[in-house]
Amino acid sequence: MITLLMLGDSLVEWGDWPSHLPEVAVINRGIAGEMTEELSARLMDEIEAYPDPNVILIQSGTNNLLFGYRLFPTILTTMLQRLRLCYPESPIIVNSLMPMPIVATHDLEEVNQELAEAAAGVENCHFLDTVGPFNEHCLPITHPGFLNDQVHLSTRGYQVWGRAIKAKLDELFPNAIPG
């Protein structure tokens, strides 16, 4: 079974990962309300606590973007470098920010481009763009991906995200995950 260390904010913390990724051993290290710089501050503690995951996924920056703090991709870049040093063999997945209705499309596109560039600059680091799957599978009226606050994910949103993560894991670890 693949062990996935998930680092991030409430979107990670509140996910029912045993339901959405039942074939994966998820280590859920999301903290609601956390900004990227706070994740960076606790990163070494997380690495010490979980020394051997098969893969690491980072989903961070939602709170930064909501509060107008746009420098978080730079902070994430330094985190990726530390993760690569500590986990030289494990793939790292940088998750895009979700297409939250409360955020202007242009701002989201710009930030996600910076996150993709950060991932591209680190060996064996992969960008997971969730905007497309959300736009395709989450319809505002019939299948909303977000709760009424327009930030947190609905059950449908978590299902879409879980499928996107599984597809990326299948790409990275062919034949390792059943189903």
- H or E stretch covering 81: helix 72-86
pLDDT in tens, 86-98: 999 999 999 999 9
- Whole-angstrom distance, CA of residue 144 vs CA of residue 154: 7
Tell me the Cα Rg of the chain: 15
**Number of C-beta neighbours around residue 47 at 10 A:** 18
The predicted-structure confidence for 49-75, as pLDDT tens digits, reads as follows 999 999 999 999 999 998 988 889 999
**What predicted TM-score, i.e. pTM, was given to this entire model?**
0.93
Domains of the chain: 2-172 (3.40.50.1110)
pLDDT tens for each residue of 112-148 = 999 999 999 999 999 999 999 988 888 766 678 877 8
CB neighbour list of residue 100: distance below 8 Å, 6 or more residues apart: 62, 108, 146, 150, 151
